């Protein structure tokens, strides 16, 4: 019996995959996670044989989770789950790694499962080497891809490179960006903006703040395991809420 964990931030997609997997006699779904941090915790706790890992997730994406798993003690077989991304699929094929395309169908998964089970029985060192190469390749591709957003200023649109954004917040129900070029409004909610910007560079420290971790100058411990952060070129203290403090400590390597 193959002990399996399913990781996806979208509940319907996660439930659908679990529903299909439960039809396989040799698969036992022992856990599910809605984000990368939870996936790492379950991996250490439950020690699965196999993880179905979504790539596009908030907090930590699937590639970052795989990288941390490679650095850890328990290293299960990973099947990446993704919507179509040309460069990612090319990398999977070149490195002979298993993946499943969304939307997932029972027929598509059944075809893939035969290959997955076969590959799980092969040499572990060979697999880990391929996984490490895949992560490096995808990491370089993402570094090469710049994220830009267009902000409004006096009736005009100004493109901002993500590296120029210090933080974003909400003022009078409008999302505003504080950048090295100034303060601007943008036609996205804070959640939508969070999805578009580079991860893990940007972190949702609080329901009203999205911060660029590269601009952090000072971290102040606060009440009830929370923090305040001071960013470069700003004069306000931005809170890290209690619900976000655990992930923040891990991202910043705070003991």
Residues 118 and 177 reside in one and the same domain? no
pLDDT score at 139: 61
Instruction: Tell me the pLDDT band of 116, cut-offs 50, 70 and 90.
Output: confident
Separation between Cα atoms, residue 192 and residue 142, nearest integer Å:
19
pLDDT score at 55: 82
CATH of the domain at 228: 2.40.50.1020
Residues 36 and 85 reside in one and the same domain? yes
Of 111, 144, 177, at which residue does a domain stop? 144
Residue 225 is part of which domain span?
Answer: 148-251
CB-CB contact of 208 with 201 (8 Å): no
Residues 84 and 191 reside in one and the same domain? no
pLDDT score at 84: 57
Structurally, how many domains does the chain consist of? 2
Of 89, 117, 144, at which residue does a domain stop? 144
Residues 54 and 75 reside in one and the same domain? yes
Residues 127 and 198 reside in one and the same domain? no
CB-CB contact of 213 with 230 (8 Å): no
CATH of the domain at 44: 3.40.50.2300
Residues 12 and 134 reside in one and the same domain? yes
Residues 214 and 132 reside in one and the same domain? no
Residues 165 and 224 reside in one and the same domain? yes
Residues 185 and 157 reside in one and the same domain? yes
pLDDT score at 90: 62
Residues 137 and 158 reside in one and the same domain? no
Count, residues in the chain: 255
pLDDT score at 93: 62
Task: Using the predicted structure, report yes or no on whether residue 144 has a pLDDT greater than 60.
Answer: no
pLDDT score at 94: 58
Residues 159 and 123 reside in one and the same domain? no
Of 80, 110, 144, at which residue does a domain stop? 144
Residues 98 and 214 reside in one and the same domain? no
């Amino acid at each position: 019996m193959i002990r399996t964990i399913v990781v996806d931030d979208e509940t319907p997609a996660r439930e659908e995959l679990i529903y299909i997997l439960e039809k396989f006699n040799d698969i036992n779904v022992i856990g599910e996670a809605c984000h990368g941090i939870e996936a790492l915790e379950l991996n250490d706790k439950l020690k699965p044989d196999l993880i179905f890992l979504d790539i596009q997730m908030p907090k930590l994406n699937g590639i970052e989770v795989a990288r941390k798993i490679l650095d850890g003690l328990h290293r299960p077989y990973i099947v990446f789950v993704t919507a179509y991304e040309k460069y990612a699929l090319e990398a999977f094929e070149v490195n002979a790694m298993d993946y499943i395309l969304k939307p997932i169908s029972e027929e598509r998964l059944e075809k893939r499962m035969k290959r997955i089970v076969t590959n799980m029985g092969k040499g572990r060192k060979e697999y880990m080497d391929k996984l490490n190469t895949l992560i490096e390749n995808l990491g370089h591709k993402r570094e090469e891809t710049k994220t830009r957003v267009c902000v409004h200023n006096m009736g005009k649109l100004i493109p901002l490179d993500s590296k120029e954004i210090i933080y974003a917040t909400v003022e009078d129900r409008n999302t505003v960006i504080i950048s090295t070029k100034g303060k601007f409004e943008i036609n996205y909610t804070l959640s939508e903006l969070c999805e578009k910007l580079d991860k893990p560079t940007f972190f949702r420290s609080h329901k009203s703040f999205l911060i660029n971790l590269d601009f952090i100058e000072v971290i102040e411990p606060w009440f009830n395991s929370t923090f305040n952060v001071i960013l470069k070129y700003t004069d306000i203290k931005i809170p890290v809420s209690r619900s976000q403090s655990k992930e923040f400590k891990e991202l910043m390597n705070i003991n």
